Structure formats: structure tokens, C-alpha cells
A and B are shown apart, each in its own frame.
Chain A
Amino acid sequence: MENLNGYLIVSAILFAIGTIGVLTRKNAIVIFMCIELMLNAVNLTFISLSRHLGHLDGQIFVIFIMTVAAAEAAVGLALMIAFYNNKESIDVEDVNLMKW
């Protein structure tokens, strides 16, 4: 594959966008979407490296990451529902019961 760097740069930019999103957004679901964006940036890195190196390890890794992300989404949304039931909000500003 002749243009590895292009793919790596795109995925690095995606990863950075996801990170900035997590740090600046207030809505728990939007934060979770940003985390998913980070994971997909990683997937893109793995797939382009896998093509470049000429073996399948990286692509197998991506399948596992997608599976795990699905499991994480199921648990995460359930936790958000439990939080919403008690607080009527999923704004992370409202995650404020415990302070040092």
C-alpha cells in the first residue's frame, strides 16, 4: 500500500477529534460517541498497518475491538439509564454528589 502515512494521519486526526470531544462535551451520550470515534480511529490505524505489513493480525484485532465496543455500549447505556432514573439528566455536570 503506497499511501500508509495518509491513512495514519487521518486516523490520528480522528483520534484527536474524539479526545477533544470527550474533554469538552457535557452530555454523557455525546461523550460516549466521542469515545467510539477514538476506537474507530484505532481501528483505521490497525487496518491500514495490517495492509501495509501484509498479514492479518491487525484486522483480527479490529474485529475484537468492535465486539468489545458493542459490549461496552450495552453496559454504558444501561448505566446511563440508571443514572437518568435517579437524576432526570445525563449531563456530566450533574455527576456531582462526591467531591473532595
Chain B
Amino acid sequence: MDMISIPVVNMTPILPEIFLSVLAMVLLLINVFGPSGQKSYLAYISFFGIVATAVLVGAGWGGHIESFSGSVVLDNFATFFKMIFLLAAGLAVLISDQYMEREGCNHGELYPLILFTVVGMMFMASGTDLMTIFLGLEVMSVSLYVLAGFNRANKKSNEAGLKYFLLGAFSTGFLLYGMALTYGATGTTRIYKIASVVGQMTLPSANIMLVAGMLLMMTGFLFKIAAVPFHMWTPDVYEGAPTPMTAFMSAGPKAAGFAALLRILLVAMPTLQVEWSQLLWVLAVLTMTVGNITALRQDNIKRMLAYSSIAHAGYALVGLTAGNGTATAGILFYMLSYTFMNIGAFAVIILIAKKGETNGNVMDFAGLGFKRPVLAVAMTIFLFSLAGMPPTAGFIGKFYLFSGAVQKGYIWLAVIGVLNSAASVYYYLRVMVYMYMKEPTEEFEWTQVTAPVALALIIAVAGSMIPGIVPSIILEYAQQAVKLI
């Protein structure tokens, strides 16, 4: 009888994932058997776990190890994105405890779910096999469905969870069908093998099965990054979900979607670039314009930031359309700085809101600049960075995205991007006008800045400012990260 030989696998590339998964499961057990009531200690344990994982991930910088017969890879590209995910999760954990306590839904399962989401996102960034990427995407999505509906007693949160689940599962269907057709056209699910098969085709754009597969896969990922026309879920889910989870959702999964898109489009299908970049050109323009124009008339600030997050996905799509070194490094830079500024802005929103998520309108910021000047300055920095004004990180990110597009000859795309960016200043400035130029209607005496939230705000302010003043500290890493793909 033939013996099944067990292959030797190198576990090094997935060590951070193993560590996080084990930590998440241990936390679930601690939550059940540990003391009931107070759950803050779970937040602290997960925060230090995330820091430890970041050290583990950082130690792998510069290496290039393929493992599990080429379905997972450890390279700088994956490492950079893993750092973004860990950062988003770390900030989300810091701002969660106070909010969850106030809303009365401080269930301990929150933190393991965040960690599982991170594990899924990490596999999306490091997967070099359609199977790994799919599994990562699903681990991420299934945890996110729960996180969106986490506040069980809140009707809006219920709706957000249900809506995200139904539309997310629907988009998964398209993604999988795309993967199946790609598998049929190329005979493999390994990204590098797909690349060599597609590279040998004389006319890949004439292969209907391959093109259909690529388009359907793109549909699935564009849904996750909230690009128009697959954006309809975004405002509702972002508004209904608990605010810390909205912050997390707008930063982490968007970056993960871009990681997977970059790897599939640039590594597996570079010979089809003419075709997919034409399509992305249109989608980038639509995404920026629809996001910004709809954001102009929002009063609810979470909803406004949801539409602005659609617009930001559009800016990053400009970089993907160009697809050259400058623009892809720009995407990585932008995703990192977006994580800082967006989670920072949501942290301030959490502090301004009252129990039951009331006080969430732009008008409720009236007079914040007089009553709580430090908070108002922090919010101003985040909004300036989101609007892309110098000297913030948001400006540098947009600069690299648009200059990449210009280098590739997409002058009009860059022009439309800059115009959109100018339009977006209106709704970001509107919040500032309320903060500094309106009479205060509230005393903001309920706004307590606890130590974890203060730490998150400091990290977010530093992350939105420092890369704007000395871009090279991030940009060098981003450039090294995209060199390999």
C-alpha cells in the first residue's frame, strides 16, 4: 500500500497568523471562564497581543519565503499590509472599550472577533493562491458581519449586520464564480502559475472564460473596497454599525481588498492591463464623484464619512488604474495614512456622541473649538488630512497617487481626481466651521477622554502629521514593498 507522504512545510510565513488565532481562541475561553462584568482587561490583552504580533510581522521584513507549495508567501508587500491591518485593529481595540461600555453591549466576544478579522485580512495580503485569498476574505467577512451587528439591542445595528451579510454573501458568489472561471481558463489556482499561463497566451483578451473570470473576481473585491457601483451597502452599514467597528471596517478591509486586487491584477494578469485599466478608469471617476457629491448633503457625520470613504477608495483606484511603481507605492502609503486619519476622526465622533448614538450630526460639533480645544484641534488635523491639505499625510498620499497617474499619461484622470479632492474640502470644512465659528449649544461635559482613547488619538494625530512632513519614513518602505510584485 502506498504511504501518503506528509510534505515538509515552512511555518514561518504564517507565524503571526497562528499567534493571533491562538490568542483569539484563548480570549474566547477567558471570556467564558473569567470574571463577568468588567471586560476591559480583554481589551488590554488583545492590544498587547496585537503589539506582539506587529513585532513578529516586522521581524519578517525583507525576507521572501514561499510556503505551503506556493499558496502563502512572506514578502515585503504582505508585511506592509499586515502592519496596516494590525494598526487598524490596535486603534479599534483602544477606542472600543469606552464606547461599548456606554452603549451597554460590552460583550467579550468583540475582541476575539477583531483578531479573527485581522487573521483573515492577513491571509488576503499574503495569499498567492485563489483558495487562500478566498479563505482569508471569508474569515474577514464572516467576522465583520457579526461586528457590524454587534449591538444586538440596537435596531440600526441589526439592520447594518443583516444588510452587510446579505450583500456580502451575494458578492462572494460573484467572486467565487470568477475564481472558478479563471481556474477553468488557466488550469490552476496558484497566482504565479496563472501569471505564466496568461503570459503565454497569444491573445488573452480573446479568451472569454478568462476575461469573464477576471471581471467577476474584480466585482467581488470592488464590493469589499466599496467602489461605485458596488457601494450601496456602505453608508447604511457604516451608519448602523457600532462606531469603533465602523472605524475599523473603513480602514482594514478596504486595505485588504486593495492588497488582493493589487496581487491578482498586477501579478497574475499584467498582460491584460490594457483591458482592466480602462475599466478601472471609469470606475475610479465614478467612485470619486459619486462619493464626494453624495457626501456634500449628509448631516449625519458617520454617514458623511461613509460617503467620504467611498471617495477615498476612488482616489486609491486612480493609483490602481495607473498601476506603475509610483502609484502602487502611493496606494500603500495612502491606505496606511487613511487608517490613521479615519480612525482618529471616528474616535472623536465616539467622544462627542451620547448613549444610544445620539448627537451624531455635524451640528452637534457646534462650539467644540471653545469647549474642548484639544479635541477640536485633533479633529481638525484628521479632517485636513482627509481633505488632502499639506502638510498632512493625506496630501502626500494623494500627491503620489495622482502623479503616478500623470506619469502613465492619465492626465484627465488626475485632473478629475484633483477637482474631486477640492469638492471634498467643502464638507470637511463644514465640520470645522461648526467647531470654531458657531456658538456652543452643548457643554460637552459627558465627553470623557479615557487613557486608551487618548493613546489612540495621539497615535492617530502623529500618524496623520509625521508622514506628511517627512514622507520618506513611510514611502521608502512602501516602495520596497511594491518592488516584488
On A, residues with C-beta under 8 Å from B are 8, 15, 18-19, 22, 28, 31-32, 35, 38-39, 41-42, 45-46, 49, 52-53, 57-58, 60-61, 64-65, 68, 71-72, 75-76, 78-80, 82-83, 85-87, 92, 95, 97-98, 100
Contacts and interface: CB of A to CB of B under 8 A. Distances in A.
B169 A32 contact: yes
A71 B169 CA distance: 11
16 contacts: A32-B169, A35-B172, A39-B172, A53-B184, A61-B134, A61-B183, A68-B134, A76-B169, A78-B146, A79-B162, A85-B152, A98-B159, A98-B160, A100-B235, A100-B298, A100-B303
- The prevalent SS among residues of A at the interface is helix
Contacts of B236: 98
A7 B134 CA distance: 23
A57 B173 contact: no
Interface in B173-207: 173, 176-177, 179-181, 183-184, 187-189
Given A45-B184, A64-B131, A72 B169 contact: yes
A59 to B, nearest CB: 11
B176 A65 contact: yes
Contact of B176 (A42, A57, A85, A87): A42
B240 interface: yes
A72 B138 contact: yes
A75 B146 contact: yes
B183 A49 contact: yes
Contacts of B239: 98
Contacts, number: 123
Interface residues of B, number: 42
A65 B177 CA distance: 11
A36 B338 CA distance: 35
Given A82-B152, A83-B158, 10 more contacts: A8-B184, A42-B173, A49-B180, A57-B131, A57-B183, A72-B172, A79-B146, A79-B149, A80-B162, A95-B163
A46 B213 CA distance: 13
A51 B169 CA distance: 27
Nearest to A37: B173
B142 interface: yes
Contacts of B258: none
Contacts of B426: none
B459 interface: no
Given A64-B134, A95-B159, A79 B184 contact: no
B170 interface: yes
Contact of B142 (A65, A75, A87, A92): A75
Contacts of A100: 235, 294, 298, 303
Contacts of B189: 57-58, 61
A82 B180 contact: no
B155 to A, nearest CB: 5
Contacts of B165: 72, 75-76, 79
